[in-house]
Amino acid sequence: MPTRTINNYLSLVKFSHTVFALPFAIIGYFLAVTTTNASFNLELFGLVVLCMVFARSAAMAFNRYIDRYIDEQNARTAVREIPAGIVKPTAALVFVFINCILFVSATFFINPLCFYLSPVALLVVLGYSLTKRFTALCHLILGVGLALAPIGAYLAVTGEFAWLPLFFSFAVLFWVSGFDIIYALQDEEFDRSKDLRSIPVWLGRKGALTLSVVLHVFSALFVIYAGFYAHFNVWYWTGVVFFSGLLIYQHLLVKPNDLSKVNIAFFTTNGIASVIFAVFVLLDLYF
């Protein structure tokens, strides 16, 4: 496949945004390795990373396919690969199917539980794309999809549920839901004109930002509670400070009457937050 074509598909699925959930999958994996009798397995770790990439690529490509007619009417999104004619809709749908098959296949080589749960995971991450047509809670559905990362990685190692990775899953749920609301502020007027559902359409800018703050407070509370629950040490709490600080920072960037820094708040701040937090969690687990 030519390099240009590969780049088009990477752009289609915003591959760089993998940085949001992947660090939490890594946290889930190493929590399982360090808190149980499991040992590090490079092959299994690679399968966990591949599952993240395949599931997210399928979800993003499906989102672009489903929203292609909406995107072409929105000036902000008309430049995306499908409405711009860079990637054909049929090709995008084939890409979705390929990634779904690869995801399920990868789970088959992990353990039976992950394999049996793989259709459920796909239902959540693919189903999100339809939700803004009937519920303003679509942001929470997206949060649920990314929240599967830490508990999924933990299950890949242990084959058993546990509370600690679930606390991180809840942190991801509220974190992602909160920053997706901020991102959706850009399309409030367009979504309202097309009868699409979102928190900004439902509550307005000020109300949406207030709810985003509340969700991020819950996210911070879950990482704090996880720290006490697992008796983490100074490295972990340093990560909590950075993570919580960056949550606060993004709310200082975006105002109801000034959305000029939404992209900085959405991608840069949250991408840095997840990576830094994961680094400090790993430092605490091993040092």
Task: Place 2 in a pLDDT band, splitting at 50, 70 and 90.
Answer: low
Percent of the chain past pLDDT 70, that is, above it, reads 98
**Structure-derived torsion over alpha carbons of residues 108, 110, 115, 116, reported in degrees to the nearest 10:** 140
Given a cut of 80, whether residue 266 has pLDDT beyond it is no
Residue 271: phi, psi to the nearest 5?
-65, -45
pTM for the structure as a whole:
0.95
Report pLDDT digits (tens) over 78-87: 999 999 999 9
Q: How far is CA 168 from CA 86, 106, 121, 219, 224, in A?
A: 38, 23, 17, 9, 10
Ranges of each domain in the chain = 3-286
CATH topology of domain 3-286: Tetracycline Repressor; domain 2 (1.10.357)
Task: State mean pLDDT over 146-151.
Answer: 96
